[in-house]
Amino acid sequence: MEYINSVILESPKSLSELYKAVKRNPDSVLFAGGTYIMSRPGYFPKKNLHGYISLSEIPELHRVLHSDKYLELGSMVTIQGLLNASASSLSKPIYKAIGSIAPSVLRNLITIGGALCSMNCRTNLCCILCAINASAEVRFITRNNKTNLNNIKTKARWIPVAKLYDSDGRYLYSDNAVLTRVRIPSDPTISFIYNNVGSLTTRSESAVTLAFQYNMNQNSIINPSFCLSFLNNGIFNLQDFEGFLRSVKFPLSNSLLQKIAGELLKLLRTECTNITDLQRERAIRLMIDALETANREYYNL
């Protein structure tokens, strides 16, 4: 008979209790809603695992704050909670894109922190938050006296969501750090395009998601910000390409679109080495479709 491994499960009631739990068991796995870890084959329980720490009972991580410039949400707020809080602060295209991420049943389970911090899987929410220049507060936990759990200090840094991952899409801050809050800029007037192709569940190896934010000023794009997500193969925010887009003048001709496609292809080949040829082709197609949408917007100005 096969028995389930006995694991340690802690449920801190405050951030200070959380920091103590992390220092006490630095190899423990932090989890929010549990939708990711419980869906991984053989993930729960793991052999030789020091334990799990649930974040669900920490009030600070459930808070929502509105201001004129941004919407701030605790990492335990669900995607549906984000939608409920942002109806008046986000542009309609961004709101619609977030609402399309998953069915309502899953949106009520998946937390912002869980979506951002899963180790090797970049969800569509990551892609959207990267493109709209959201940032996350990461608290790094230190302790001067290794035997005194009361002598714990934390240092907070606000990090752009796009900088939370390495070039392969792996989350960078899993050791002795906790993502506590996310800030999303509030600008209902900004233009935003979101699209994906391929199945994220059955054919994830070929799926591609694009999110593209920009302002149109006369015949040019200002402040372009875009992100490409390849789920298990990485997430990319190519700043060189954004700089190239600033030099593009509207209206866009077919020859100019081909030039843009060539520039993106060159960057994808050098910067996105883990993706497949099909994903590369799909990424270019999504970008061209997005620019054609921006081109139609230019004619409607």
Write the pLDDT tens digit of every residue in 111-121. 999 889 876 66
pLDDT given for residue 137 in this prediction: 96
Query: Is the domain of 28 the same as that of 177?
Result: yes
User: Tens digits of per-residue pLDDT, 19-69?
Assistant: 888 888 777 788 876 666 655 555 555 554 667 888 989 999 999 999 989
User: Average of pLDDT values for 200-205?
Assistant: 69
Between helix 277-299 and helix 254-271 the angle, nearest 10°, is 140
Enter the tokens of residue 234. Answer: 């990485």
pLDDT given for residue 44 in this prediction: 56
* Residue 3 clears pLDDT 50, i.e. is over it: no
Nearest to 107 by CA among 86, 123, 132, 83: 83
pLDDT given for residue 139 in this prediction: 92
pLDDT given for residue 28 in this prediction: 79
pLDDT band (50, 70, 90) for residue 201: low
CA dist 135 and 129 (Å) reads 8
CATH classification at residue 229: 3.30.390.50
Residue after which a domain boundary falls, among 171, 189, 207:
189
Between vectors from CA 11 to CA 8 and to CA 17, what angle results, nearest 5°? 110
At residue 269, φ and ψ (nearest 5 deg) are -70, -30
User: Average of pLDDT values for 189-212?
Assistant: 85
Asked whether 214 and 191 are in contact (CB, 8 A), the reply is: yes
Structural domain span for residue 112? 1-189
pLDDT band (50, 70, 90) for residue 2: very low
More confident: 121 or 291: 291
* Residue 275 clears pLDDT 70, i.e. is over it: yes
Query: Is the domain of 76 the same as that of 205?
Result: no
Q: Secondary structure of the chain: what % helix, strand, coil (to 5)?
A: 35, 25, 40
Query: Is the domain of 207 the same as that of 166?
Result: no
Query: Is the domain of 16 the same as that of 34?
Result: yes
Residue after which a domain boundary falls, among 189, 222, 256:
189
User: Tens digits of per-residue pLDDT, 89-131?
Assistant: 889 999 999 999 888 998 998 899 988 987 666 778 999 999 9
pLDDT band (50, 70, 90) for residue 250: very high
Residue after which a domain boundary falls, among 189, 217, 244:
189
Query: Is the domain of 284 the same as that of 144?
Result: no
Enter the tokens of residue 102. Answer: 């998953």
Query: Is the domain of 108 the same as that of 31?
Result: yes
CATH classification at residue 77: 3.30.465.10
Query: Is the domain of 130 the same as that of 195?
Result: no
pLDDT band (50, 70, 90) for residue 175: confident
* Residue 1 clears pLDDT 50, i.e. is over it: no
pLDDT given for residue 271 in this prediction: 85
User: Average of pLDDT values for 240-268?
Assistant: 92
pLDDT band (50, 70, 90) for residue 263: very high
pLDDT given for residue 273 in this prediction: 83
pLDDT band (50, 70, 90) for residue 189: confident
pLDDT given for residue 290 in this prediction: 96
User: Tens digits of per-residue pLDDT, 147-167?
Assistant: 566 667 788 999 999 999 887
**C-alpha to C-alpha distances, 68 to 20, 65, 96, nearest whole angstrom:** 35, 10, 21
pLDDT given for residue 195 in this prediction: 95
Q: Where are the alpha helices (DSSP H) in 118-180?
A: 124-131
pLDDT given for residue 6 in this prediction: 61
Query: Is the domain of 206 the same as that of 144?
Result: no
Across the chain, mean pLDDT equals 85
User: Average of pLDDT values for 233-242?
Assistant: 83
Query: Is the domain of 182 the same as that of 239?
Result: no
Query: Is the domain of 115 the same as that of 15?
Result: yes
User: Average of pLDDT values for 78-88?
Assistant: 93
pLDDT given for residue 48 in this prediction: 45
Query: Is the domain of 238 the same as that of 264?
Result: yes
Number of structural domains (the chain) is: 2
Query: Is the domain of 170 the same as that of 210?
Result: no
